[in-house]
């Protein structure tokens, strides 16, 4: 994935964070998810006073893409504009992303462009056996 595309994706994640509904944590998060055909889905965190019902930005974007029929994601950028340091996706988001993306999928996250961490889904989620399991299921 070239740097220019990933910076564009990160800027879209920053824009998505502006739409966050985070009245409890005051911690907006935005995500931008790139599909194989170039389509981009964005999402933001949506909180609920019953915190367990809160949905993360990464999952919001993933569910929007999957609901539109997309099943192959090729990159994601995540913006946490009010954090003091780059904050990567939580474990639940890593699990959901691994359902639709390969381990080599680029994952960029940061508070702003100067703090972006560049990694892959496989580096964030190194012991994902689900892809191996899926390959061995009867068709």
Tokens of 23: 């009245």
**Candidate list 4, 18, 58, 132, residue with the active-site label:** 58
Pick the closest to residue 99 from 128, 136, 126 (CA basis).
128
CA pair distance 26, 17, nearest whole angstrom: 11
58 has catalytic annotation: yes
**Can you tell me whether residue 41 is helix, strand or coil?**
strand
Residues with catalytic function:
58
């Amino acid at each position: 994935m070239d740097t220019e595309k990933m910076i564009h994706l990160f800027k879209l994640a920053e824009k998505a964070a502006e739409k966050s509904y985070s009245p409890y944590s005051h911690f907006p998060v935005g995500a931008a998810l790139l599909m194989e055909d170039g389509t981009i889905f964005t999402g933001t965190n949506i909180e609920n006073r019953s915190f367990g019902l809160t949905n993360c930005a990464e999952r919001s974007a993933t569910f929007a893409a999957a609901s539109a029929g997309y099943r192959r994601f090729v990159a994601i950028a995540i913006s946490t504009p009010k954090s003091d340091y780059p904050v990567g996706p939580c474990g639940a988001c890593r699990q959901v992303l691994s359902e639709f993306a390969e381990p080599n999928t680029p994952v960029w996250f940061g508070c702003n462009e100067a703090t972006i961490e560049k990694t892959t889904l496989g580096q964030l989620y190194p012991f994902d056996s689900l892809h191996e399991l899926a390959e061995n299921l009867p068709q």
